[in-house]
Amino acid sequence: MSGLPYPGSLRIDEGTTMDVWQLDFYRRPLQDANGQTLWELLICDATRHFTYDGLCPQPSVNSDWLVSQLQNAASTTRLPDLIQVFRPQSLSLLTTAAQQLGIRVEATRRTPALKQWLQERALQYRLQDNYTAEAYHATSLEKPPPTPLPENLWGEQWRFATLPAGNIEEAFAGRPIPILQMPEFLLPLNLGLASTVPVPGVVIDGGRQSMRLARWLQNVNPVSLNYIAGAPDGLILEAGLVDRWVVATFEDKEVATAAQTYEQRKLLSKGLHFLLVQPDDSGMTYTGFWLLQDE
C-alpha cells in the first residue's frame, strides 16, 4: 500500500510541544487484500509538525482500536489535552476512546491543517493499487436542509452593519458582555487585516428575547452567517459541525442589495464577519458577540 503505512506510522519534528490534536477517522476509497473497506486514521497538530496515520479494516473499527492508536501516537510525545474533530461520523467513536484516556474532545469545523492533509491524501489514493475509484470527497459533509429559527427566539429587528477591523477588539474585548466569542485566531490582527478594512456583520435587537437568543446561539456554536439568494432570500447560520439555521428571510430589494454588499465585504475581510445580539439599539449594553469566518 504505497504511501500508507499499516497499521500506523508516526512523524514528529523535534522542538514541537503539542497540546491539541486534529483527528479524522473514516472510511476511504481503499480496500485491503480481502476486499474489506479500509478506514484511515489521521492525526496532526495545527502546524503538521506532528502527524500520525493508520489504516483499519472496516470490521475491526471500534473504540478499542482507536484507543491503542492514540496511545501509539503518543509513544514519543504525550497525549494531548484536546482532540478536535470536524466529521460527525468520527465523533462518537473518538469520544468513547478519549474518555478512557482522559482526553477532552471538541467538535469543530476549524481544523484547517487536517483538512489540507485530507485533500493531499485524496490525490495519493488514486495512485494506489488498492484504490476502489468510488466517489470520494475528502472534507465535504452531507448537511441537512436549514431549519427555521425557533419562534420563541425571534428578536424585534435586525440589520447589516460594519466595523473597522482595528476597532473590533477595543470595542468588545473589554466590555462586560455575558457571551463573548472572540477566538485569538480570528482577531483581525492575527488574520493580517489592515485596521481600516470594514468587517461586515449582522446586528440583532433581541428585546426581551435577547439573552435567550444569545444563550441558544452559544449552544449551537455559530461558524458563519451567509446570505443565500432565493425566493425568498435568506440569512443562513452555519453552526456546529453540519447544522444550518434560517435566521431571517426577506424579499425587499434594498435588503437584498445590502446582503450582496455584506457578502462582497466578506471577500475583502478574508471571510471574517460578526454577529451581535443586543437588547436594543441604544448601544449601551450588548448580550452576545461572535467573531465568525466563512469556511
What would you report as the CA-atom Rg of the chain, rounded to the nearest whole angstrom? 22
Under the banding of pLDDT at 50, 70 and 90, the label for residue 52 is very high
- Whose cell is 425566493? That residue is 231
> Which positions ≥6 away from 257 have C-beta within 8 Å?
none
Under the banding of pLDDT at 50, 70 and 90, the label for residue 4 is very low
| DSSP helix, strand, coil percent of the chain (3-state; round to 5) | 30, 35, 40
Under the banding of pLDDT at 50, 70 and 90, the label for residue 2 is very low
Separation in Å, CA 269 to CA 48, 225, 274, 288: 26, 14, 11, 21
> DSSP letter at 284?
S
Q: What is the arithmetic mean of pLDDT over 14-20?
A: 60
Under the banding of pLDDT at 50, 70 and 90, the label for residue 3 is very low
Q: What is the arithmetic mean of pLDDT over 201-210?
A: 95
Contact status, residue 205 vs residue 158, Cβ threshold 8 Å: yes
**What ranges in the chain are assigned the alpha helix state H?**
63-73, 88-101, 112-125, 165-172, 210-220, 253-268
Contact status, residue 267 vs residue 193, Cβ threshold 8 Å: no
Side by side, which strands form the sheet with 179-181?
157-164, 198-205, 272-278, 288-293, 179-181
Tell me which residue of 127, 23, 34, 116 sits closest to 66, measured CA to CA. Answer: 23
Three-state secondary-structure class, residue 93:
helix
pLDDT tens, position by position, 127-141: 999 999 999 999 999
Tell the burial category of 35 from Cβ atoms under 10 Å away from its Cβ (0-12, 13-18, 19+).
exposed
Would you state the pLDDT for residue 151? 84
Domains of the chain: 8-125 (3.30.420.10), 147-293 (no CATH)
- Residue 239 C-alpha cell reads as 453552526
Q: What are phi and psi of 196, to 5 degrees?
A: -90, -5
Residues of the chain above pLDDT 90, percent: 85
pLDDT tens, position by position, 158-185: 999 999 999 999 999 888 999 999 999 9
> Which positions ≥6 away from 2 have C-beta within 8 Å?
127, 128, 129
Side by side, which strands form the sheet with 104-107?
8-12, 50-57, 37-44, 20-31, 82-85, 104-107
> DSSP letter at 49?
S
Contact status, residue 133 vs residue 29, Cβ threshold 8 Å: yes
Under the banding of pLDDT at 50, 70 and 90, the label for residue 17 is low
- Whose cell is 482577531? That residue is 187
Would you state the pLDDT for residue 187? 96
> Strand 50-57 vs strand 37-44: parallel, antiparallel, or unpaired?
antiparallel
The distance from CA 191 to its chain's CA centroid, rounded to whole angstroms, is 16
Contact status, residue 99 vs residue 75, Cβ threshold 8 Å: no
